[in-house]
């Protein structure tokens, strides 16, 4: 859910803000992008270099226009930011020059809002911001509380109501019983700040498939032999060679319950820097694969129509589907899968049987309570953490591949997004699955290229990891490739 503001919020005007920060490291940049996305989800139009400054754009002009045109400048303070600002170093130093030249114009109105991400008052606040009231984002557990304060500031809303003025206790007038009824604006219901729909849509659009110039939720591929559920995803395979696993089993779940569990996962672990989500649905003659949690649910609900299309094409159907969804996040991989049942044309009649729901951790998690809470949805849960030694496989290649469908990263950029992969034609030379063959695979690039580029693609390697499921076999394969402009 989004943050609730007072009823008199001006819904016709959305505040705008520019985020000024230093490029301390990749983790810090990801945190800033997450903050920006949360502000966006609360109706605040954010200008951010990672979103709006194209390659080759003038950085100084971008800073000047952003600071001048936005209602607010949110300044993310760290010791490195303060050092660069005080010494006039790099982009931070240039922004500092612009801000210090304008800050005296806004003494009676708030335009510059500092927030402290790391460090302390002594080493994180630049000289020109001394005396400014700041919002501390130092404690990770208080992110939502501080976000609420920032959103209220950007909407010019008070966090708490001022109590009504009572009578003068020393007045000669007779004092009647005076009771003040105060609304407690600090009461926060569980997950008040979490907009699950926003999170699911964001994850669903991190990677999209473009087939024949149109966006598609999943790709259809022909399968041969008994199907192994193969998920094509650009994950950090090596980090799971010696890991831990936690999983739960259910005999059957209705599709609505499955959808709720996925929503519960993202609402529970929404701050954990999700990288990529992908899925595969496989049976003996066909395979369907794509990206995103909403597309996964759509593909399962589409079973009747998928099978109807196969019958129309005269293909033999064996109803033994296996469906798996994975999401790689900060601490590991979340997976959920099972066997979708044969259904009628009604979407709400779908069930999934023999469900596996679990996590693969890079290392034993420090806080295990949130996982127990996550699985608290089930009446009976027998959870135990076990060592997981993955059957990690690698294969070096040097094979050209033809493309049919593009995989697009960041589709909201003005140039239409970056091509980060293709759906290519598989061959016996390339195939990296032991028990089955599919005629199409997703190949991920080491570097991205623009959508309109004409390229030649060479697969350089493939790596795989098997999920520790006990019901059906499932594997993640990461094909890597380079490209050359034609």
What is the residue-averaged pLDDT of the chain?
80
Question: pLDDT tens across 369-387, in order?
Answer: 788 888 888 877 777 788 8
CB 413 within 8 A of CB 469: no
- Per-residue pLDDT, 194: 64
Tokens 């995103």 sit on residue? 292
Higher pLDDT, 193 or 300: 300
Kindly indicate the confidence band of residue 308, based on its pLDDT and cuts at 50, 70 and 90.
confident
Question: pLDDT tens across 122-173, in order?
Answer: 788 887 777 677 888 888 778 888 888 898 888 887 776 555 555 555 544 3
- Give the up-direction half-sphere exposure of residue 472: CA atoms within 13 A in the CB hemisphere: 28
Least confident segment among 102-116, 191-205, 298-312, 402-416: 102-116
pTM attached to this predicted model: 0.61
Question: pLDDT tens across 13-29, in order?
Answer: 788 999 989 888 888 88
- Per-residue pLDDT, 168: 53
Cβ partners under 8 Å of residue 436, min gap 6: 223, 224, 225, 226, 227, 228, 230, 282
The whole-number average pLDDT for the span 182-204 is: 59
Kindly indicate the confidence band of residue 392, based on its pLDDT and cuts at 50, 70 and 90.
confident
| Percentage with pLDDT > 90 across the chain | 17
CB 207 within 8 A of CB 454: no
Round to whole Å and give the CA distance between 193 and 71: 23
- Per-residue pLDDT, 175: 32
Round to whole Å and give the CA distance between 115 and 135: 5
CB 3 within 8 A of CB 192: yes
**Helix spans in 343-392 (H):** 369-374
| Percentage with pLDDT > 70 across the chain | 81
Question: pLDDT tens across 270-295, in order?
Answer: 777 888 999 999 887 888 999 999 99
- Per-residue pLDDT, 294: 94
pLDDT > 90? residue 323: yes
Dihedral of CA atoms 422, 425, 430, 436 in degrees, nearest 10, equals 110
- Per-residue pLDDT, 346: 58
The whole-number average pLDDT for the span 220-236 is: 82
């Amino acid at each position: 859910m989004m943050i609730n503001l007072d009823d008199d919020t001006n819904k016709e005007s959305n505040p705008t803000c520019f985020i000024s920060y230093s490029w301390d490291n990749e983790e810090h940049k990801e945190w800033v992008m997450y903050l920006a996305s949360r502000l966006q989800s609360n109706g605040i139009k954010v200008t951010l270099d990672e979103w709006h400054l194209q390659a080759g754009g003038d950085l100084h002009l971008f800073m000047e226009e952003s600071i001048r045109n936005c209602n607010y400048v949110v300044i993310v303070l760290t010791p490195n930011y303060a050092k660069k600002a005080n010494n006039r170093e790099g982009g931070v130093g240039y922004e500092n020059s612009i801000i210090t030249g304008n800050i005296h114009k806004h003494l009676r109105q708030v335009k510059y809002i500092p927030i402290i991400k790391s460090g302390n008052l002594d080493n994180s606040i630049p000289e020109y911001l001394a005396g400014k009231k700041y919002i501390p984002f130092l404690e990770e557990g208080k992110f939502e509380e501080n976000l609420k304060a920032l959103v209220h500031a950007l909407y010019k809303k008070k966090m708490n109501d001022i109590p009504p003025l009572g009578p003068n206790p020393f007045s000669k007038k007779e004092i009647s019983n005076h009771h003040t009824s105060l609304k407690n604006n600090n009461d926060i219901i569980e997950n008040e700040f979490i907009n699950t729909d926003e999170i699911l849509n964001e994850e669903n659009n991190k990677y999209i498939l473009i087939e024949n110039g149109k966006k598609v939720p999943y790709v259809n591929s022909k399968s041969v032999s008994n199907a192994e559920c193969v998920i094509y995803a650009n994950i950090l395979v090596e980090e799971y060679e010696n890991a831990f696993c936690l999983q739960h089993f259910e005999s059957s779940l209705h599709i609505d319950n499955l959808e709720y569990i996925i929503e519960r996962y993202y609402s529970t672990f929404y701050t954990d820097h999700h990288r990529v989500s992908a899925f595969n649905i496989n049976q003996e003659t066909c395979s369907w694969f794509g990206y995103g949690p909403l597309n996964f649910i759509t593909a399962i609900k589409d079973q009747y129509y998928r099978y109807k299309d196969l019958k129309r094409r005269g293909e033999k159907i064996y109803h033994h589907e296996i469906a798996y969804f994975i999401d790689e996040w900060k601490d590991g991989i979340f997976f959920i899968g099972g066997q979708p049942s044969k259904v009628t044309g009604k979407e709400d009649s779908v069930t999934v049987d023999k469900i596996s729901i679990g996590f693969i951790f890079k290392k034993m998690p420090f806080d295990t309570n949130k996982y127990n809470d996550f699985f608290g949805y089930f009446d009976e849960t027998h959870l135990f953490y076990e060592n997981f030694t993955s059957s990690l496989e690698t294969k070096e290649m040097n094979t050209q591949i033809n493309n049919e469908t593009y995989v697009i990263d960041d589709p909201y950029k003005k140039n239409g997004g970056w091509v980060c992969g293709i759906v290519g034609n598989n061959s016996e030379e390339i195939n990296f699955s032991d028990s089955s063959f599919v005629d199409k695979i997703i190949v991920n690039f080491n570097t991205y290229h623009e959508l309109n580029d004409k390229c030649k693609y060479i697969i350089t390697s493939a790596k795989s990891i098997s999920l520790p499921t006990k019901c059906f076999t499932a594997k993640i394969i990461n094909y890597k490739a380079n490209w050359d402009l034609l």
